[in-house]
């Protein structure tokens, strides 16, 4: 495909009015807190509520989503960028028709491409808005530059933490790095916190209140509390079997917790408060920041 043809496709896509997907970026201050498990089980719960969902695995170098899905994708985002594959070629369909895109290292290499070709890629990615109501971006853990690029591009961040002291301090470090990022926009960014592996329900709220008090004082980042997921042996067993607990055991305590959190995210008040950006705006923000 020559450049002229690419530009014609871009212009044709720009003339069409497309729906915008809701992009939720799931992150954590450290690894091993259940971030990818959260992404998958929320996706399953959204599907049960009738929403079309696609997960973008942006945790470069790891394959947590595909391992938990028990499937190996044939293509990833690099194949769209460098091999001419279409957006439908790189989507793997998992349980309950949840779509999954492996990021590979594709996004990291976008800064080396011409603007015309970047526009072409964005017009391919924008097709996801017509294919999904919700797109979940599962980032890496910690404060690496790649993680922060996704966070500042996202209007809706779901921060996963646990009661472990290291998880709490690392969550604060992540929020501090986000606050100091030159493109962080407080007005356009909503941070929501989920506490995983809680032994008793009130523990999650207490942990949030303590962290939120420090964040409000020093970082001025507004946060909301989404809820908690209890420590649950059935969730651990589901991970070992490479099946989301929301599918394997609908009656599990962790499944019920994911259901409550999904319902809160899709509640009328929450949905009205959360504007939809869509994938074009999301990736444009990342690319423009790299230029």
Q: How much helix, strand and coil, in percent to the nearest 5, is found in the chain?
A: 50, 20, 30
Report the alpha-carbon distance of residue 220 to residue 35 in Å, rounded.
24
Positions of E strands within 79-189: 92-93, 99-102, 134-141, 156-161
Mean pLDDT over the full length of the chain: 84
Most confident of 97-101, 169-173, 218-222: 169-173
Q: Which helix (H) or strand (E) holds 198?
A: strand 190-198
The packing angle between helices 253-265 and 233-240, to 10°, is 90
Q: What is the pLDDT of residues 43-59, one digit of tens each?
A: 999 999 999 999 988 87
Query: Which strand ranges, in their side-by-side order, compose the sheet holding 99-102?
Result: 92-93, 99-102, 53-58, 134-141, 22-28, 156-161, 190-198, 223-230
- pLDDT tier at 7 (50, 70, 90 boundaries)? very low
Is residue 215 scored above 90 in pLDDT? yes
Q: What is the pLDDT of residues 121-157, one digit of tens each?
A: 777 778 888 899 999 999 888 888 878 888 988 889 9
DSSP secondary structure string, 10-34?
A: HHHHHHS----PEEEEEEESSSSSS
Cβ neighbors of 98 (< 8 A, separation 6 or more) are 40, 43, 44, 47, 53, 54, 55, 69
Is residue 194 scored above 90 in pLDDT? yes
Which residue did the predictor score with more confidence, 11 or 249? 249
Report the alpha-carbon distance of residue 23 to residue 225 in Å, rounded.
18
Ramachandran angles phi, psi of 58, nearest 5°:
-100, 20
Say what the pLDDT of residue 161 is: 97
């Amino acid at each position: 495909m020559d450049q002229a043809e690419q530009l014609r496709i871009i212009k044709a896509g720009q003339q069409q009015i497309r729906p915008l997907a809701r992009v939720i970026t799931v992150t954590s201050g450290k690894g091993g807190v259940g971030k990818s498990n959260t992404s998958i089980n929320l996706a399953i719960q959204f599907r049960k509520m009738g929403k079309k969902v696609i997960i973008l695995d942006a945790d470069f170098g790891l394959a947590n989503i595909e391992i938990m899905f028990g499937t190996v994708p044939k293509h990833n985002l690099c194949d769209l960028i460098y091999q001419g594959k279409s957006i439908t070629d790189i989507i793997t369909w998992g349980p309950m028709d949840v779509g999954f895109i492996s990021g590979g290292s594709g996004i990291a290499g976008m800064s080396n491409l011409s603007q015309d070709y970047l526009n072409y890629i964005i017009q391919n990615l924008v097709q996801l808005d017509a294919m999904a109501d919700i797109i979940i971006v599962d980032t890496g853990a910690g404060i690496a530059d790649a993680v922060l690029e996704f966070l500042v591009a996202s209007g809706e961040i779901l921060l996963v933490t646990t009661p472990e002291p290291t998880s709490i301090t690392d969550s604060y470090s992540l929020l501090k790095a986000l606050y100091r990022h030159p493109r962080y926009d407080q007005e356009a960014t909503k941070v929501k916190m989920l506490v995983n592996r809680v032994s008793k329900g009130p523990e999650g709220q207490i942990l949030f209140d303590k962290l939120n008090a420090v964040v409000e004082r020093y970082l001025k980042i507004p946060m909301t509390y989404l809820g908690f997921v209890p420590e649950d042996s059935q969730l651990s067993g589901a991970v070992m079997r490479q099946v989301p607990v929301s599918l394997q055991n609908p009656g599990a305590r962790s499944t019920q917790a994911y259901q409550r959190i999904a319902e809160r995210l899709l509640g009328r008040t929450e949905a009205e408060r959360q504007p939809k950006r869509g994938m074009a705006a999301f990736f444009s923000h990342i690319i423009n920041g790299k230029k």
